[in-house]
Structure formats: structure tokens, C-alpha cells
Structure 1
Amino acid sequence: MEHITLLIGIVIVTALVFDFTNGFHDTANAMATTISTGALRPKTAVAMSAALNLVGAFLSVEVAKTISGGIIDESAGIRPEVIFAGLVGAIVWNLLTWLAGLPSSSSHALFGGLIGATLVSVGTGGVHGEAVVMKVLIPAVAAPVVAGLAAMAATRLTYRLARKRDESDTAKGYRAGQIASAALVSLAHGTNDAQKTMGVITLALITGGVVAPHADPPLWVIVSAGLAIALGTYLGGWRIIRTMGRGITDIQPPQGFAAQTGAAATILASSHLGFALSTTQVCSGSVMGSGLGRKGGVVRWSTAGRMIAAWGLTLPAAGLVAAGAAFLAGRGDWGVTAVAVLALAACGAIWAASRRKPIDHTNVNEGPAAEPAGVVTAALQTVAPPPAGVVAPRPAEADAAEEPAETATETPTPAARRAKAASATS
């Protein structure tokens, strides 16, 4: 076995950066509904999710095996710079969708990046097409549908069971259930998503001759991947939490409990089978299902449509970015350096753009999705009157109510005075 080279070290660091972005990008999967209903405070929620993501990273390695030896043919001449390019494509797409507040799939960004970079570097022989279809594409279509139907049925059942009970006691019970189910989703997320980074690092070690083909991830890989995703989760992807918790539908505690329980069961079952599905798509499907399951519930299909469009674009978009990075990285050391510099510049620009309208734990439950714009405006005018010298806008009703009084004080025209005099004479 060879020692870890500088290039493999760069790949490992880049993989952990992706794992970090995966953590804050996907925090919403477990905690968005819990935060939006007030079951947990935002910072408490993300801290609990981070701890359970770390624990979940140690529970299984089946998904890691799928990535390190299932989708990409490690014996087809894959070099570490190919994996580096794939990770760059995944990171850039993750940050772009985070900036837009869209809960797209970090998993599919990673798959798209690896596939795009491999196709450019070694051709179609480097990708196991059957594994991509069976373990990525089919679960991508089926998982959100199955999770959505399960959440819709569970939501209807919970409301039916609770209709004759005291509303306040029921709400408290479901809030406790939300906390438990959110913990389960966080644990499931660690077993599924942390393993993807483990698989990528293991693949890099195999291509560099550091570990034997088809080997399980070393312990230090498991620990570092678990810590990276936990740290990202703790920082919280507040933009996506707002979209998931308030942008798709208005979540009540019974809905949140039903959505999270269905999502956790789906993710844990898929991890056991080695299906590297998107936890984002599963949880988003569950949230939509819970909106449809509540009588009078409304799904904001404009937001859902943008989200589904992002799902469809994730694989090809990340693949295109990674393909360009792989082409450049294949030119030699200067190409790898250029890819690293361009990636850092892109990430810096995205971060700078996010600072124009920052979203954090203090305002995550605010925004147009929380209440109609007119109500927000009225509330602001009531709580915070305008500064001295600034005239507040007048409601239309007030103008209409005062119109008769204003009309009565108007100066009559000469024609009106003559008509009035003539009337009095007659």
C-alpha cells in the first residue's frame, strides 16, 4: 500500500467540505417542521440533530459500499483528480440551491458530480449504469411518492383519532411526538448521508492504492465524516429550514409528527438495503403529503414546483460543473490548482450574496410564507408607528369613510349657488 499523497489529501479535505455542506443543507430534513411548529427552539433543534447525525454515522456502512464500489467502477482508471472534480461540482450546486432556499438533494449532487467527472475522464465504461438506475434513479422517483402517501395517510389517521380529545392536550402530545420523530430522522440522516462521504473518501483511498479494493471505510474515515456532517448540521441551513417548515404548507404538530415518522421509516429501510436515496426528497414528499392529508390544508404548489424542478436539475447540473472541472484537472497540477481557485471563488461569491439578506435562527420562522403580506404590514404599523415627519399610508376604508365629511366642506361652485337660490325662491 502507498502513503497518502498530497492530491489524495486534497480530495479527502474536499470530501469533508462537501460533508459539511451536506449537513447544513439537509438540517431542514429533520428539524424544519419541529422548528416551524415551535416544538423546539431553533438552536436546540439543530444541536440535537447534529448529535444524532454523529451517532448515526456509526450504525451502518452499506450506503458507503454502494458509492465506493457500486456506482463508479474503481478499476476503470479512476484517478483522485476525477473524484476531486466530482466533489467540486456537488459543492457548488449545494451552495447555489442553499442560496435559493431550495431543498434539493445533496446525494444527487454528489452522484451527478461523480458521474459527470467519470464520463469526461474515462468514458461510459467507468459508470455502472445498472447500479445508477436501480439504486439512484428509481429510488429518486419512488421514495418521495411513497413517503408522501404514507404521510398523507398518517396525517388523516392522527386527526381522526384526535378529534374527540382536548385540543391543547393533543397538541402537547404531538409536540413530544415531533421531537421523538425528528430525533429518528436525524439518526436516519446520519446513517444515510454521512456514509456517502465515507464512500467517496474510501474510493479515493482505493484509487490511490492506500486501501484494498472493496474495503470497508477505515475507522478514521467514519469518525471524520460523522464529525463534519454534525458540524454542518449544527450551524443550520436556515434558508432551507424556512422553505421546508413554512414555504410548502402550514404545518401543525400532528402533521409534523406524521411527516417525520414516515420519512424516518423510509430512510432507515433504504439505508439497510443500501439504497443511497435523497433524504431531502423523502422529507419534502412527507411534508407535501401531510399538507394534503389535513382537511383544509393547502400545499403551495408554486414553491413545490420550484423544488421539484431543482430535483430534476441536480444530477445533470452538478454533472456539467464536475465535467468541466475534470477536463481542467486532467491537464496536470496547474489544472487541479485552477479548479481549486475557481471553486473557492464561486463559493465565496455565493456566501457574499447570502449576506445581503441573511436568515438565521432569529428570523427563520418569519417571511411571506408565514402570513399574508397585508397582515404583516398591518402588524408592523400597529407595533412600530412611523417616525416623526413620515406620513403612514392610509387604508382605503379610512379614505372612503371620510369622503362625505370632506365633500360637505367643499366650496360650492357659482352654478350651484344660483340653483340653490332659485330653489329657495320657488
Structure 2
Amino acid sequence: MDATLIGVLAVIIAAMAFDYTNGFHDAANAIATSVSTRALTPRAALALAAVGNFVGAHLGAKVAKTVGSGIVELPPVMHSLSIILSGVIGAIAWNLITWWFGLPSSSSHALFGGLVGATIVGGETVLWGGILDKVIIPMIASPVVGFILGYIMMIAILWIFRRGNPAKLNRGFRVAQSVSAAGMAVGHGMQDAAKTMGIVVLALFVGGYQNNTEHIPQWVFFTSAGVLALGTYAGGWRIIRTLGRRVIHLGPPEGFAAETVASGVLYANALAFGAPISTTHTITSAIMGVGATKGKYAVRWGVAGNIVIAWVLTFPAAALVAMGVYYLVNPLFT
């Protein structure tokens, strides 16, 4: 087995480890609201999320191509494999840190931060225009859009069903949440499995095993989707508790509104623009927007503030970790 193949396999294994941590870290994105409102049992919700992630992965080719070619530019040499591996390890480290503290940070931005940090110290090219268009602008815009649409959606529900029986409405929205949770899970797969696919394709390209970053082999689809689904089914209970209970008190109508808005934003970005946005930012901001309809004291802004701090720190923190990892990993690839 030659050194290049070993390097490619190391990156693929690390990418799948990231994929798995992404699954249990971001399981909350799809199911926290459904579990907290008792629309679904925890295990049923996790199973639904796992299946949705698997399905969604096969619709995320545009996002995968953005990650594979729109963030950094790496030549097809061994040195590039050490950069990719360092970036992925940086992202895994940040995922584990934020999971431990129960903070719903973005696995996507951890991956981008890690990749950019390792690329900088590795002396290769960061596509700052792509970072601005595909990472920074969506990072700011998606939470704002999620918050505003969550607020509007909840106001509409309150007005449309203003004369309804609360008990009957809660039962109906619990059923509806099964659909909105499934939609959220598919949207998460379209975004997050696709990011892992982009990393694997990039590794195959720089390792010389394919000629471009446009083609995604079928085994990459299935492997990335399957590992993400397994990670999701393992569950990230610390973060599920934060999103489902600590930000606001969610009822079935609120849960349905937040999930519907967030999944819509994910679909629009993945299918229309191929923009790799954060599912975590989108659903969390939608939950905050829904909660804001109950008044300024309904949202626990202290918890929300901690989440926002984690959002801001994610990109640079993962980049710094990846920079340190690079100096340990790179000698193995020379």
C-alpha cells in the first residue's frame, strides 16, 4: 500500500469520524422540538431523523461541490492531504467541546474553520471570495431569516387558529410535527452529509484518484449518509435538552412553526444556491423567532447569548485547533 493511498484513507476515516460527531451533535436540529413537545418519543424521533438524513444526503450534491471546490484551492499532492486531515480533526475537536457543554454550535462552520486554518499554515490558497459568499454571508443571513420567518409563521398560526380549541389544536400539531421533523431531517442530510461528501471528494482529487471535484461516486453518497444516520441515531442529548427546553418552552404549534421555517430555509439554500449553511443556526434562530411572539421574556436570552457566543467562536476556534494539528500531522506526509 503506497503512501498516497494511506493518506487518502486517513482523510476518509477522519471525515467519517467528523460525520458521526456531526450526527450526534446535530441530532437536536431535527428532533429537539418534537421531543420537547412530546409529539414523538425520543427514539422514534431519532430513528426518523436518521432516515431523513440518509435520504437528504442524496439531494445535497450542490452543497458537496461547493465544499469540495469553493472554499480552498489545494494542488493534487501529498502535502494537501495533511491540510485536509488537519482541518477535519480541528472540526471534530470543536464538535466534541461544544457537545460536552451542551452548546448547539455549527458543525459546518467548524469544518470550514478547520479547513481554512490548516490551509493558511500549509501555505496554500484560501478562496476568500468563496468564504465570503458561501460561509460569512449565509452565516449572518440564515439566522436573521430564520428568526424573522419563525416570528411571522407563529403570528400567522396564532391568528388562523385563534378561535380553535387548545387541546384539539395541540393534538393536531403533534401529528403535523411528525411531518415537519421529517422535513427538517431531510434538510439536515442535504446540508451536513453533503459537507462530508465534499471533503472525501477533495481528498480523492488531491490524492490523484479522480480528475476533478465535480464527480461524487455513489459509494461516497452512501457512506456519508449512512455514517451521519448512525451518528444521529446515537443522539446528542445534551444539545437536545438545550434546544428543546432551555431556550424557550415549546408547545406543538411552536415546534411545528420552527421546524417548518428552518427546513424551508435549508431546502432553498441547498437546492437553489448550493450554499452550505448551518442547520444549527437556522433551527435555533427559528425557535427564538417563534418564542419572541410570546413577549421578550419568553426567550431565555442568557442561554441564547451563550449559543451566539459559541457561533461566533466556532470558525476561529476550529481554525486554531487545525493549525496546531497541522504541525503534528504534516511530518507524516513528507
TM-score band, normalised by the shorter chain?
over 0.9
Counterpart in 2 of 1:207?
206
Counterpart in 2 of 1:92?
93
Contact kept, 8 Å, 2:76 with 2:206, in 1: the verdict is no
Task: Report 1:52-63 matches (<5 A).
Answer: 52-63=52-63
Q: Secondary structure at the match of 1:260?
A: helix
The amino acid that maps onto 1:225 is: S
Counterpart in 1 of 2:263?
264
**CA deviation profile, 1:320-375 (whole Å, cap 9, x unmatched):** 00011112222235x9xxxxxxxxxxxxxxxxxxxxxxxxxxxxxxxxxxxxxxxx
CA distance in 2 between partners of 1:50 and 1:283 (Å) = 17
Matched, 1:286 2:248: no
Counterpart in 2 of 1:165?
164
Deviation at 1:122, TM superposition (A): 1.6
- Structure 1 326/3 Cα, relative in aligned 2: closer, same or farther at 3 Å? closer
Task: Report 1:237-386 matches (<5 A).
Answer: 237-272=236-271, 273-294=273-294, 298-332=298-332
The amino acid that maps onto 1:212 is: N
Q: Secondary structure at the match of 2:122?
A: helix
> Greater relative contact order: 1 or 2 (C-alpha under 8 angstroms, separation 6 or more)?
2
Percent of pairs identical after alignment? 43
Q: CA RMSD in A?
A: 1.6
Counterpart in 1 of 2:114?
113
Counterpart in 2 of 1:103?
104
Counterpart in 2 of 1:177?
176
- Structure 1 257/297 Cα, relative in aligned 2: closer, same or farther at 3 Å? farther
**CA deviation profile, 1:300-339 (whole Å, cap 9, x unmatched):** 0110001000000000000000011112222235x9xxxx
CA distance in 2 between partners of 1:213 and 1:21 (Å) = 28
- Structure 1 216/269 Cα, relative in aligned 2: closer, same or farther at 3 Å? same
Counterpart in 1 of 2:131?
132
Q: Secondary structure at the match of 1:275?
A: coil
Contact kept, 8 Å, 1:116 with 1:323, in 2: the verdict is yes
Contact kept, 8 Å, 1:76 with 1:122, in 2: the verdict is no
Task: Report 1:4-19 matches (<5 A).
Answer: 5-19=5-19
The amino acid that maps onto 1:39 is: A
Structure 1 unmatched ranges of 5 or more: 336-426
Contact kept, 8 Å, 1:56 with 1:188, in 2: the verdict is yes
Counterpart in 1 of 2:217?
218
Task: Report 1:378-397 matches (<5 A).
Answer: none
The amino acid that maps onto 1:128 is: L
Contact kept, 8 Å, 2:201 with 2:213, in 1: the verdict is no
More helix by share: 2
Q: Secondary structure at the match of 1:210?
A: coil
The amino acid that maps onto 1:88 is: I
Deviation at 1:296, TM superposition (A): 7.8
- TM-score computed with the length of structure 2 as normaliser: 0.96
Counterpart in 2 of 1:379?
none
Aligned length: 331
- TM-score computed with the length of structure 1 as normaliser: 0.76
Contact kept, 8 Å, 1:144 with 1:286, in 2: the verdict is yes
Structure 2 unmatched ranges of 5 or more: none
CA distance in 2 between partners of 1:88 and 1:23 (Å) = 16
CA distance in 1 between partners of 2:296 and 2:155 (Å) = 11
Contact kept, 8 Å, 1:291 with 1:297, in 2: the verdict is no
For the pair shown, which has the larger CA radius of gyration, 1 or 2?
A: 1
Contact kept, 8 Å, 1:4 with 1:210, in 2: the verdict is no
